[in-house]
Structures are given as structure tokens and as C-alpha cells.
Amino acid sequence: MHTKSLSELSTALHNGDITSVALTQHYLDRIKQYNGELNAYITICEESALAQATDADTQFKAGTAGPLTGIPLAHKDIFCTQGVRTSCGSKMLDNFIAPYNATVVEKLNTAGMVLLGKTNMDEFAMGSSNETSFYGAVSNPWDTDRVPGGSSGGSAAAVAAQLAPIATGTDTGGSIRQPAALCNLTGLKPTYGRISRYGMIAFASSLDQAGPMARSAEDAAMLMQAMAGFDERDSTSVDHPVPDYTTDLNTPLDGLTIGLPTEYFDAGLDPAVNDTIQAAIKQYETLGATIKEISLPNTKLAVPTYYVVAPAECSTNLSRMDGVRFGHRCEDPVDLEDLYTRSRGEGFGEEVKRRIMTGTYALSAGYYDAYYLKAQQCRRLIRDDFVAAFKQVDVIMGPTSPTTAFKAGEKTDDPVAMYLADIYTISTNLAGLPGMSIPAGFVDGLPVGLQIIGNYFDEARLLNVAHRYQQVTDWHQQAPDAFAG
Amino acid sequence: MQGAVEQAQNHLNYLFFPLNSTEPVMSLDRTDVEKIAHLARLGINGQDIPEYAQTLSNIFALVEQMNEVDTHNIIPMAHPLDAVQRLREDCVTETNQRELFQSIAPKTEAGVYLVPQVIE
């Protein structure tokens, strides 16, 4: 049952071959069997999942079921789920029972999906290895000594080990695409503003976007369809029509022009990963695409710019965690200052503290122009590179990550080395563009992700480009043996 | 009383003149880290300060690579699609859910959030 695609599950449910309760129970059993080893889930919603599944089965009988009705999923623990702990991977929110649903959660509930549980993540989504979580590190199902990537590492490990058919993630600097690459998944970060951020705990508000983490482009398209759309509760939501993401999946790629930025094939790229990416690009040529070398000259600015914008916005967003209205509060504060300082000092982990301090410094009096303003100017240069490139090409391709999954603990002592793990993914967040990662092969048994970047609101084309490749390759169908049974 | 005035002045100094220099610096010291942590109302352990000073200095060394590019006359980018703030009708859309919201608060009494006494 757990090897089926979303559309196969949907057909089986609609035909009455399986019930949602049986399907949900199957996944709950798998979670019980394997989660101890992977630590992919923080919270398992057994009781409410079975109740939602029972409701779904009633809808099949009543003939009111939709394409996603009765299909289980996992939410990254950054999305507020009413009545269910929403920890964001932090001690600060360990006791936080969300009083309302995120728009994404509401939409997928309305679509009839069944919430299996909340997945582990880097604390407040700050990390590239899922090692900063208060609930412990997540293991990569392909090699449990290695990281699954981050920050949506729990969602990635859960879907890769088939402990959920699909999951949600969020991506601020690569947090959907990088773990998708390291765990052999198809992950999509949509255009900024495409999916509502309402009820999605904010890290860096001008960069954060939610998206699907799936085992194929077709599955991702189905979830994307239900997630996308304007939301008046999110002031940065963009009112732009939502196309049908599944109708164009099979459109042939003849005439497609793919841009390869020279800057994405630099000295920092692992040669074996490069070989895998080149083979995938050759495959695209046989599918009818034309390859064109391009330049994104300001790529070198992406990481420095990101490490001003993201910490600055996070220091502002996380000021709401003050121990007064919700979240962790220290014991016996002597005064208000002590209450704030100790609650925050005890509630936040090291990486979060580091980023709050980086952002606080960058925004402190006298430094605004040198850091935040300068970063916002660099952002425009980065975006303008892409705008110029998309006058010549339809999509841009390159590696998602410079290496395959690294060993746990390898980069925890050097934040700057960890930050460079996102070197190819950060630019698209700064520019607000949609990006995907799809499985493109393996190096020494570890997955390699091909990144596909599209123009604004071109998610349907990205999904089409990914799907056509998945019609002629089977990388995306590979699953880790240790969790296959 | 004298102590309170001094404290308030120090506090204002922290807020408006947080650091000794307004030139970007590559290297942060112990005093800088303590001041930043204070501005962020973030309790940190004294023994961790040298490590914070080192890692923050490394991060800012990375950040200062931005200066390799001239951004004179470049308009800062606030939104990738240059969107502007939407306006809406001024009408009530939310209902009062005080009890629900306060059910997850660390300390409340008679419908208010409790914090340590601020004014004597």
C-alpha cells in the first residue's frame, strides 16, 4: 500500500479497493515500526487521524469525496494545527497547542486529507541538516549515519521511508529542495506569495514559502493544487489565478530551452554530483530540450545577502516569543527584563540564538544601511540576473546541493560551512522565484537532486519538466531498502 | 533613586548607541556580544561568549563579501514582485477568543496576562 502514488491511492479509495481507515492504520503502523530509528515525527496524531479517515470513508459512501479525500499526509511542525502541539522544533513552543489552523492545514483538511502527525525540523526552520531540533536529530533513511538535510528534514525522511505518502515543507533558503535532494524526493518551493503563509510560524517573512514534498512530480502537482491560492489573511499573498497543475504534466518538451548557469558548476561542486547532473541534462536533450549556457553573475552575493536578510527578519519575528502570552516561561522571574531574558535564553537553542544575535546586530542603530539596506540592494541585483536570464531560457537547471548527504555532526561546529550547503538554493528565495528538486541519480548509494528553477508563477511548467523526466527515468521510484518492508 | 536613573540611562545608551563604532566591523569582542544579547533580551551563558564572538565574527566576515559589489543607486528590493500593502474594508472579521488564547498562556488572572510587577 505504501508504495502507491497519490493518484493510485485516490483511485483505490474511490473504487472501494481500500478504505481510508485501513490506509491510515497501515501508515500509523509503519510510523510505530520505524520512527524510533529515524525520529522523523515529533507528534503522531493517531486518534484524530483515524477519526478523519472515518469521515473520509463516509464521504466515499456519500459520493462527495474529492481527489485527495482519505489520503494521509504529514505536516511539518511549523504549520499551526488547532488542538495539536505545534513546536517548530523548539523548546520555546514545546507546550504550544495551536489555537487555530494555518490556511494550508485548513485547505488540506477541507480537501479531506488525513493528518498522520507533525514532522521534525530544524528549530524554527534554521538549519540545513535537521540537527538543531529540540527533539533530536533526524536520520537519513538512505544511510542513518547521515543527515536528511534541513530544515524540512522530518518531512523528507518520513516520505522517503514511506511513513507518509506525501508531506508539507517550508523553504526559506532551500529547506524543501535540499532535504528533497538528500532523500531522493520531488520537492517544490513555489513563487513567493503563491501559497498562504497564514499560520505558518514565521522565520524570514520575505523569503518563507510552503510547498509539497513528494515521491513524484505528479504527486506534488496534486498537493500543490490544493495548497495554492490567494489568502486575504496573508498580506504578502499574491492574487494570481491558480492553473490546473496536472493538465500540462505530459506536454512534450520539444523546443524547451534550459539555461545552465556557469556559476552553479563551480569548484565547490562535488565532481561525482556534477557527473550525475550532466547525465540528467543529457537526458533532457534527448527529450527535445535545447541547452544554453548562461551567467548569473551576482550568485556570489546570495549567501552573504541571505545571512543578513534572514537573521534580521528572524530577530524581529522571534521577538514575539517573550514568555508572556504563550510558550516557555522561566521559573520565578524577578522582573520583566529577567522574564524576557531567561525565558528566551532557556527556550531557544544555539543556532536560533546565533541568528537572533546576527540579525539584532545587523539592525542595530547605525548599522542598518551597511547591512539590511545593502542586502536589499544586493537582492535586486540577484533578481535582475534571473529576469535577464528568463528572457533567453524557459527554465534554469543545476545541482540542488553541492554534495550528497553529509555525516551527522560533520558541520555542526562550523555554522559558516553549514550555511554553504544552501549555496545553490538561496538565490531563488531572494528573488522570490519557484524552484524544484527532483531525483537525478545516486553517488555511492546516496541520492543526488537536480534543481529546476522557473520564472514567476511558472510552477505548472516546472512540474511538467519534472514529470517528463520521471516518465523516462526511475530514480524517483527508488526507495531505501532498510525501510521497504 | 540614583541607581535607577543610571540604569535608565544605560538602557537608553544600549538602545540608541549600542556599539562603540558605527563602521562595520569584522571582529566582535566580548562587550559587543553582551550588548547584542542585551538588545535581543537573550540570556546567554558567560562561558559561551568567546564562542559567540568567534562565530558571529565569522558570519559577518562572510556577510561583508556584499561589499565587493557596488550598489550605488540600486533601489532596495522589498518584495520580489514589487507588491504594495493591500487595503481592506474597516470591518470586524474576528471574534473575541480571549479564553481560548489565554488557555495556553503561562500565567493569567481575571482575563489578563500576568507578568512580574513593573511599576511600584
Tens digits of per-residue pLDDT, A51-97?
999 999 999 999 999 999 999 999 999 999 999 999 999 999 999 99
Chain A residues whose beta carbon lies within 8 Å of the beta carbon of residue B28: 361
A357-409 pLDDT, tens digit per residue, is 999 999 999 999 999 999 999 999 999 999 999 999 999 999 999 999 999 99
Chain A residues whose beta carbon lies within 8 Å of the beta carbon of residue B18: 364-366
Whether A186 and A449 have beta carbons less than 8 Å apart is answered as no
- Give me the domains of chain B, ranges plus CATH numbers: 1-67 (1.10.20.60)
Q: Please give the mean pLDDT across all residues of chain A.
A: 97
d(CA B109, CA B120): 19
Provide the terminal-to-terminal Cα distance of chain A, rounded to the nearest Å: 11
Judged against a pLDDT cut of 80, whether residue B75 lies above it is answered with yes
Neighbours of A247 (CB within 10 A): 11
Chain B residues whose beta carbon lies within 8 Å of the beta carbon of residue A345: 42-44
Task: Identify the H or E element spanning B100.
Answer: helix B98-102
What φ, ψ does residue A423 adopt, rounded to 5°? -60, -30
Q: Looking at the partner chain, which of A238, A305, A339 has a beta carbon nearest the beta carbon of B115?
A: A339
For residues B59-71, average pLDDT: 94
Nearest CA in chain A to B62: A304
C-alpha cell read off for A118: 507533525
In sequence order, what are the beta bridge partners of A97? A85
Q: How many angstroms separate the CA of residue A361 from the nearest CA in chain B?
A: 6
User: Between B63 and B82, where is the model more confident?
Assistant: B63
Whether A107 and A195 have beta carbons less than 8 Å apart is answered as no
Q: Looking at the partner chain, which of A308, A326, A353 has a beta carbon nearest the beta carbon of B105?
A: A326
d(CA B68, CA A2): 51
A175 is catalytic: yes
Strands, DSSP E only, in A56-182? 72-76, 114-119, 167-171
Catalytic site residue from A87, A139, A175, A427: A175
For residues A326-346, average pLDDT: 97
Chain B residues whose beta carbon lies within 8 Å of the beta carbon of residue A328: 106
For residues A38-49, average pLDDT: 98
Q: How many CA atoms lie within 13 A of A279 on its CB side?
A: 15
A139 is catalytic: no
For residues A227-238, average pLDDT: 95
Q: How many angstroms separate the CA of residue A194 from the nearest CA in chain B?
A: 11
CB pairs A-B closer than 8 Å: 178
In sequence order, what are the beta bridge partners of A186? A214
Q: Does A238 touch chain B (CB under 8 A)?
A: yes
Lowest mean per-residue pLDDT among A186-190, A216-220, A469-473, B116-120: B116-120
d(CA A484, CA A170): 26
pLDDT band for position B12 (50/70/90)?
very low
For residues A197-220, average pLDDT: 97
Q: How many angstroms separate the CA of residue B80 from the nearest CA in chain A?
A: 5
Whether A406 and A129 have beta carbons less than 8 Å apart is answered as yes
Percent of chain A with pLDDT over 70: 100
Chain B residues whose beta carbon lies within 8 Å of the beta carbon of residue A380: 74-77
Residue in this structure with the C-alpha cell 543545476, named with its chain if needed: A398
Angle CA A333–A336–A342, to nearest 5: 50
Helices in A40-176 by DSSP H: which ranges? 46-62, 103-110, 153-160
Cross-chain residue pair A374–B66, CB shorter than 8 Å: yes
Q: Does B78 touch chain A (CB under 8 A)?
A: yes
Q: Does B22 touch chain A (CB under 8 A)?
A: yes
Q: Does B55 touch chain A (CB under 8 A)?
A: yes
d(CA A280, CA A270): 16
- Give me the domains of chain A, ranges plus CATH numbers: 6-255 (3.90.1300.10), 300-376 (no CATH)
d(CA A176, CA A193): 16
pLDDT at B80: 84
d(CA A449, CA A441): 8
Q: Please give the mean pLDDT across all residues of chain B.
A: 82
A151 is catalytic: yes
pLDDT at A170: 98
Q: How many angstroms separate the CA of residue A423 from the nearest CA in chain B?
A: 13
pLDDT at B83: 82
For residues A345-357, average pLDDT: 97
Judged against a pLDDT cut of 50, whether residue B11 lies above it is answered with no
The closest alpha carbon to A312, from A241, A360, A370, A373, belongs to A360
- The contacts of residue A125 (CB under 8 Å, 6+ apart) are A78, A88, A89, A151, A152, A170, A172, A175, A201, A203, A208
Nearest CA in chain B to A419: B59
For residues A451-475, average pLDDT: 98
Catalytic site residue from A10, A20, A76, A133: A76
- The contacts of residue A29 (CB under 8 Å, 6+ apart) are none
Q: Looking at the partner chain, which of B28, B74, B104 has a beta carbon nearest the beta carbon of A96?
A: B104
pLDDT band for position B23 (50/70/90)?
very low
The closest alpha carbon to A299, from B26, B73, B80, B65, belongs to B65
